[in-house]
Amino acid sequence: MGVIMLFVTSITFFIVRLLPGDPVFLLVGDHPTEEQIEKAKNDFGLNESIYKQYVVFLKKTMFLDLGVSLRTKQPVLAELTKRFSATFELVLFSMFIAIFFGFPMGLVSALKQKKRIDYVFRSFGYLGLSIPVFWLGMILQIIFFGILYWLPLQGRYSGIVFQDSPLIYNSGFILIDSFFSGKWTSFIDALRHISLPGFTMAFGVLGIVFRTTRSATIDTMGAPFFRTFQFYGLKNREIIQKSAYKNTLVPVSTVVGLSFGLMLGGTFLVESIFDWPGVGQFSVLSILTRDFPAIVGVTILYSFIYVFINFFIDMFYVIVDPRIRG
């Protein structure tokens, strides 16, 4: 995990500095003097060689000092901390939707092979894999906001609702805080705001979860133990409900871990479309302005989350399938 983090961070550090353009002008404005340019380079260490900047960067990163954003003039760690809860809540909500619908759909489709419902679910899964996220998000905005007026266009919550009903808990996860605070008006408002971006991100991953579950279930139905249960008179649905579904958890959990990273990347587009105040939106603005301390900070955060989730999935294998312990 440590080697992967170092490798990804180093690549990002050097690539950002090799891009065309000078980030100094983001600090000093459009018409700076030579003295202002020189002072900005000295303050942020930009006049040093890339090698020295890299060594200093590694030393600071070890102590969670990610530098100062050139765009906002605030510490990168503080900016990421402030926006992390919004992104993580959106990703978890989307992943929950993808698993909640995709896993049962895969089981049903495997049980009803070559039936009408199987073709419907398979078509739905392929549709999710083929539709671009940014296009789907805008179409949902047009339908549910522009035509039906059911859901809000953008943002994370309505400011008036939370001013009238302050939350008791303030962890940053609005859905959880409003639920445990008993503020149902705030909870419903936050749920309505997260619905469109959440379903937009979940749609593509749902297709991946569905296809993996269906394939794993079909393979399981061909296993010797499954046929043994059939000889005892049990129906396929009963076998899957009591035992066989467990054999699908290992491949499905692998796909879920990989899809988590896919969703993190998807937040770049989704948060920009829905004006979601998370890390993805902050990343897009940082890239457009060549704010390399922020870009590297976001890369470190995303890399750590992705590696940690996959590490957790590896540990989950042992719980699901005790045979792996041997």
Structural domain boundaries of the chain? 2-62, 83-325
For the chain (326 residues), the mean pLDDT of every run of 10, in chain order, is: 84 77 62 69 69 83 82 86 87 90 88 87 85 86 88 79 60 79 82 90 86 85 78 79 73 80 78 86 83 84 84 76 63
pLDDT reported for residue 28? 62
Q: Is 287 exposed, middle or buried (0-12, 13-18, 19+ CB in 10 A)?
A: middle
Give the pLDDT of residue 29.
61
The per-residue pLDDT for 323 is 65
The alpha carbon dihedral of 297, 302, 308, 310 has a sign of negative
Quickly count: other Cβ atoms within 10 Å of residue 177's Cβ. Answer: 20
CA distance linking residue 79 with residue 282, whole number of Å: 8
As a CATH number, domain 83-325 is 1.10.3720.10
Query: What pLDDT shows up at residue 160?
Result: 61
In whole angstroms, give the CA distance from residue 52 to residue 61.
14
pTM greater than 0.75:
yes
Q: Three-state SS for 68?
A: strand
* pLDDT of the residue at 273: 87
DSSP code string of 135-184: HHHHHHHIIIIIIS--S-SSSSS-HHHHHHS--S--SS-HHHHHHHTT-H
Beta-carbon count within 10 A of 28 CB: 17
Distance of alpha carbon 182 from alpha carbon 227, whole angstroms: 50
